[in-house]
């Protein structure tokens, strides 16, 4: 099986090639275990014999043991050259980011306590060198301090015993016992389940409270899950530690401890960042899904993940951090160094597709043209849209300034002969059926058509998907600058014009119905209705071959322009602004990745 995989070509394996493993010579301090496996190791803290690259670094790139960099066969992912940040600096940066985000999402004292518990546990268990007796006591005291702050970390006393000895483990138990004896009420208050109804507690007990489970049923269910999770986490952690992935082994145990703790605040989720060092998936495009998911779950509120489509999915997504903690402890199949898919390759695009010096700005490894992971794309779209919605709605309303800008736009349009809003709106108000159709078009197609085009590109034209998605995201991000810098009232909210979106409505009507309260009514410039519609036309016209489909694509932004003007939701100059941000989005895409790939390029 391994020989078959090693001989496979990128074309035969969907862009993934696995080369033969070259024999490796040991170096001082490395345990020797043969050509394909690490030497004997025990526990999380002992020095294991990693296959290649230190405790957590990648091994040789498949295909003859080459290390890092681009080759004729493709770009290694991940490669040794890609890891330029030293591991201690990376850990410190992760802890600092966790502290900052947790302080914004909860009490600063709780954030500092959670980060301190994580740092103390790492200080106790992460060093691989044997320590003298005094060092064992210090390691035990460090873990004991972590347990005093987060009692679930008591689970780490077992690997501490194995790698630091009995003295360290007993010291780790003595410290929280001393804290409990000195301040029983305070310790019990910190260690008791919070039972919060909100999303601040992502422990299994907190999830049970939110689902309405209390008392004995909750205790029995938690006990059963805890027994299984502890056994699986200890087994998986020992296997990963023996493979040389000690940081990941600690992350597995820490995730189990956090999930089973009485409470799990945002700062306690930092163990997911350690677990994010694990490798999942067979394709290069799948490798970034888990690290980015772990980072999103730790650094962003779980409510960001919920698009609000239906209740069951919403419950799962809002409790995603707790489910991820449990999955790390029990279910996720992280790859080990002997796995043929430990290193994977993906074909690289041309190094300079634009032919211009300095363009593209991104290196070849960061601008692949193959079909990306679907779940990663859905996560990216949801997080970006949540950020866009938050920024758009957080922009100050500034009604008086927005109205003043609207009157200026009206004067400019009169000078240019573009003031067609009154004529089109008056004509639409006389045709009730047309106005109703325009309202349905305005409400539904604005989101449905771009999502459909994205799905079509992803399935049928994956080489076009990434550039098109980059253009769409860049144009939307640039539009936020206009929302903040130039608040503009739509025609229906501009006094003195008499424009309405319904025959019997008022200038303060709601074109999106109940969704109107969720939007910023004074974010009309630029028009994203026009920008997104023009993007759909651009993507279809440059990709499709059928004349009918191209004709429909060209007509879509024209119909959208009529709808937004007829319903008095945008000025004509708003449409010009939408076309301008789309053009800027195309320029951003060209700078980042170069010109669009050939139509027939596939990976």
* SS3 labels along 373-394: CHHHHHHHHHHHHHHHHHHHHH
- pLDDT above 90 covers what percent of the chain? 24
CA dist 567 → 257, 489, 578 (Å):
56, 14, 17
d(CA 271, CA 160): 17
- Helices 572-593 & 528-541, crossing angle to 10 degrees? 50
Q: Residue 232: helix, strand or coil by DSSP?
A: helix
Q: Using pLDDT thresholds of 50, 70 and 90, give the confidence band for residue 195.
A: very low
What local confidence, expressed as pLDDT, does residue 318 receive? 85
With cut-offs at 50, 70 and 90, classify the pLDDT of residue 117: confident
pLDDT at 33: 37
DSSP 445: I
Task: Give per-residue pLDDT as tens, 423-464.
Answer: 888 888 888 888 888 888 888 888 899 999 999 999 999 888
In the predicted structure, residue 191 carries a pLDDT above the cut 80:
no
DSSP tally for the chain: helices H, then strands E? 24, 2
pLDDT in tens, 488-530: 888 888 887 777 666 545 544 444 443 344 467 788 889 999 9
Q: Which residues contact 540 (CB under 8 A, 6 or more apart)?
A: 453, 549, 550, 552, 553
CA–CA distance, 420 with 496 (Å, rounded to integer) = 16
Terminal CA-CA length for the chain: 24
Q: How far apart are CA 584 and CA 576, in angstroms?
A: 12
Specify the pLDDT at position 192: 65
pLDDT for the residue 196: 46
| Pairwise CA distance, residues 156 & 586, whole Å | 51
Confidence of residue 567 (pLDDT cuts 50, 70, 90): confident
Question: Distance between CA 542 and CA 590 in Å, rounded?
Answer: 15
| Highest-scoring range by mean pLDDT, 17-31, 308-322, 436-450 | 436-450
pLDDT at residue 323 is higher than 90:
yes
* Interacting residues of 172 by C-beta distance below 8 A, sequence separation 6+: 124, 140, 141, 143, 144, 147, 156, 157, 160
Question: What DSSP line would sit under 53-67, residue for residue?
Answer: STTT---PBTTTTB-
CA distance 330 to 226: 11
pLDDT at 444 (0 to 100): 85
CB atoms within 10 A of CB 9: 10
Query: What percent of the chain lies above the pLDDT cut of 70?
Result: 71
pLDDT of residue 441: 87
Structure tokens at 485: 């810098």
Average pLDDT, the chain: 76
- Among 525, 530, 528, 529, residue whose Cα is nearest residue 485: 525
More confident residue, 297 or 87: 297
pLDDT at 256: 94
What does pTM read for this prediction? 0.71
Among 241, 432, 415, which residue's Cα sits nearest to residue 337? 241
Separation between Cα atoms, residue 176 and residue 81, nearest integer Å:
43
Given a cut of 80, whether residue 391 has pLDDT beyond it is no
Q: Which two tokens stand for residue 521?
A: 């009514």
CA distance 304 to 389: 10
pLDDT above 50 (res 82):
no
Write out the E strands in 311-370.
Answer: 344-346
């Amino acid at each position: 099986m391994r020989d078959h995989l090693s001989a496979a070509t990128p074309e035969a394996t969907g862009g993934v090639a696995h080369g033969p493993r070259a024999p490796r010579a040991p170096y001082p301090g490395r345990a020797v275990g043969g050509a394909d496996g690490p030497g004997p190791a025990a526990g999380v803290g002992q020095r294991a014999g990693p296959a290649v690259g230190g405790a957590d670094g990648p091994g040789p790139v498949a295909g003859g043991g080459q290390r890092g960099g681009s080759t004729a066969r493709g770009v290694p992912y991940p490669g040794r050259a890609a890891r330029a940040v030293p591991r201690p600096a990376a850990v410190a940066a992760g802890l600092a980011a966790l502290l900052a985000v947790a302080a914004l999402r909860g009490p600063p004292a709780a954030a500092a306590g959670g980060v301190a518990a994580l740092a103390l546990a790492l200080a106790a268990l992460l060093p691989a060198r044997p320590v003298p007796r005094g060092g064992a006591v210090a390691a035990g005291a460090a873990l004991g301090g972590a347990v005093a702050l987060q009692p679930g970390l008591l689970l780490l006393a077992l690997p501490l015993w194995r790698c630091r000895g009995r003295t360290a483990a007993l010291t780790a138990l003595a410290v929280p016992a001393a804290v409990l004896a000195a301040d029983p009420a305070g310790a019990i208050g910190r260690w008791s389940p919070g039972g919060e109804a909100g999303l601040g507690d992502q422990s299994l007990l907190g999830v049970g409270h939110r689902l309405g489970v209390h008392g004995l049923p909750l205790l029995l269910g938690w006990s059963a899950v805890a027994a299984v999770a502890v056994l699986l986490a200890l087994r998986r952690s020992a296997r990963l530690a023996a493979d040389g992935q000690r940081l990941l082994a600690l992350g597995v145990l820490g995730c189990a401890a956090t999930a089973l703790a009485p409470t799990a605040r945002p700062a306690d989720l930092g163990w997911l960042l350690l677990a994010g060092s694990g490798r999942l998936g067979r394709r290069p495009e799948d490798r970034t899904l888990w690290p980015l998911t772990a980072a999103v779950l730790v650094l962003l509120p779980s409510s960001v993940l919920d698009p609000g489509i239906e209740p069951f999915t919403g419950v799962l997504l809002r409790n995603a951090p707790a489910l991820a903690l449990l999955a790390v402890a029990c279910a996720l199949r992280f790859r080990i160094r002997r796995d043929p898919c430990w290193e994977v390759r993906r074909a690289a695009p041309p190094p300079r597709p634009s032919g211009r010096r300095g363009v593209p700005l991104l290196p070849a490894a960061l601008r692949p043209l193959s079909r990306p992971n679907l779940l990663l794309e859905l996560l990216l779209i949801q997080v970006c849209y949540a950020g866009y919605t938050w920024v758009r709605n957080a922009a100050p309303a500034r009604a008086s300034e927005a109205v003043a800008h609207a009157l200026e736009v009206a004067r400019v349009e009169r000078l240019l002969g573009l003031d067609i809003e009154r004529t089109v709106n008056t004509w639409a108000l006389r045709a009730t059926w047309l106005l109703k159709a325009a309202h349905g078009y305005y409400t539904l197609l604005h989101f449905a058509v771009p999502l459909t085009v994205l799905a079509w590109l992803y399935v049928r034209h994956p080489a076009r998907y990434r550039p098109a998605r980059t253009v769409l995201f860049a144009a939307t991000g640039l539009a936020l600058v206009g929302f903040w810098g130039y608040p503009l009232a739509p025609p229906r909210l501009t006094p003195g014009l008499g424009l309405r979106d319904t025959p019997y409505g008022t200038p303060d009507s709601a074109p999106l119905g109940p969704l109107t309260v969720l939007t910023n009514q004074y974010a009309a410039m630029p028009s994203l209705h026009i920008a997104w519609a023009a993007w759909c036309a651009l993507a279809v016209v440059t990709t499709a071959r059928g004349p009918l489909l191209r004709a429909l694509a060209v007509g879509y932004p024209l119909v959208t322009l009529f709808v937004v003007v007829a319903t008095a939701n945008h000025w004509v100059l708003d449409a010009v602004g939408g076309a301008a941000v789309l053009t800027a989005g195309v320029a951003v895409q060209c700078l980042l990745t170069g010109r669009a790939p050939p139509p027939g390029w596939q990976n």
